[in-house]
Amino acid sequence: MCRFLIFKGKQPIRLSHLLTRPAHSIINQSFDSRLRLDRRRPMNGDGFGVAYYPLDSELSEDGPCLFKAITPAWNNQNLSTLAEKTKSDLVFAHVRASTYGVLSETNCHPFTYHSLCFMHNGGISNFKGIKRRLLNHINDEYLNFIQGSTDSECAFALFLDTLDKLGYDPRKQDGDFGNVALRKAMLRTIDYIRDWTKEANRNEVHVEPSLLNFAVTDGSTVIVSRYITSKTDEAASLHFSCGSSFVETSPGEYRVERLDRNQDVIMVASEPLTFERGDWTAVPTNSILTIKKQTILLHPIIDEYYQEDPLYLRSSTLAESKGLMGSIPLAKAVEKNVPPLEREGRTRPPTAVAHIA
């Protein structure tokens, strides 16, 4: 299935340091995924996309720059040239292995709407069974926004409609909706999909769960979910890394430096970009990761699929069978050590795992 990558830094980075140069960059992952646990479908060759926010504030007034193509990412010379000549401090990148929707640029992620940018790794269970209900639920503005045929773009339209109905105008030029608003809209979007698919699957005998690794940004805050509609299965893999810089130590080899306590560089990825075990931390299944300025917050999603036992070991069989598990032997400490916290609505208050000094 798909892979995505998010970079947010205090200083801009050349896109090639994320997309093409590292030996295990997201582009190289699309054809050479040495960290993927399932090898039955090693290619992500059904198109790619990269969205990046310009450094010039005048150019970023109405959202990010967007480059998408249906050619395999590893064989696109325009992408290589663009990546070497472009810098940004906020980047969303995605390589696609299609599960729903034909091969077309309109079906490639990320999707953008004014200042907002969105991408998805996974799939909505029995999407055909809920598609009509989803489309009937959203306002015409967001219904007419949909250009492709993927469940992912429909999920983004639902997110926009939800944000609007919460009292925030998605057409806002300068973005900056705030982490509370974006997280609340993300949680409610997941709620709708969970409840609708549960109802649609009520009479089905064998139904796979929805895998909802969503990522959204307004150009300032980043919200990422790692979620599955199952109490026993692992969600698609997701990791984060933070430090003072992301540096090239030798041709193709990179590492995350931690020279001080500042988190100047934050990356979130379906599959780690480096082979250093200590560079990356697994995001707990069924949780929301928030990047607020350069602070990372983790909120567990507390619903019927939440596991109260912090030592419960979910099965990775489903995610592996779909090629959605990419990992090095990462420590599970973050999943075991999320402390008991007071409940805040549907989620517990955040655990701050990184912050600016």
d(CA 186, CA 214): 8
2 a catalytic residue? yes
pLDDT band at 354 (very low <50, low <70, confident <90, very high): very low
The pTM score is 0.88
Q: Above 60 in pLDDT, residue 49?
A: yes
Q: Tokens 């590893």 map to which residue?
A: 74
- Max Cα separation, the chain? 56
pLDDT for residue 144 is more than 60: yes
Q: Which single residue is written with the structure tokens 């699929």?
A: 305
pLDDT at 57 over 70: yes
Q: Residue 167: which residues within 8 A CB-CB, separation 6 or more?
A: none
Q: Which of 108-122, 164-178, 207-221 has the lowest mean pLDDT?
A: 164-178
Q: What are phi and psi of 324, to 5 degrees?
A: -105, 10
Task: Please state, rounded to an integer, the average pLDDT across all residues of the chain.
Answer: 85
Q: With 90 as the cut, is the pLDDT of residue 99 above it?
A: no
pLDDT per residue as tens digits for the range 304-327: 999 999 889 999 999 988 878 876
The answer to whether the beta carbons of residues 215 and 223 sit under 8 Å apart is yes
**Which domain range does residue 69 map to?**
3-354
Residue 47, domain CATH: 3.60.20.10
Tokens at 79, concatenated: 């992408």
The pLDDT > 90 percentage for the chain reads 62
pLDDT at 36 over 70: no
Q: What is the pLDDT of residue 97?
A: 58
Q: Kindly give the pairing relationship between strand 211-217 and strand 48-52.
A: unpaired
Q: Number of folded domains in the chain?
A: 1
Q: How far apart are CA 290 and CA 223, in angstroms?
A: 5
Task: From residue 87, give the alpha-carbon distance in Å to each of 65, 215, 240, 310.
Answer: 11, 21, 21, 40
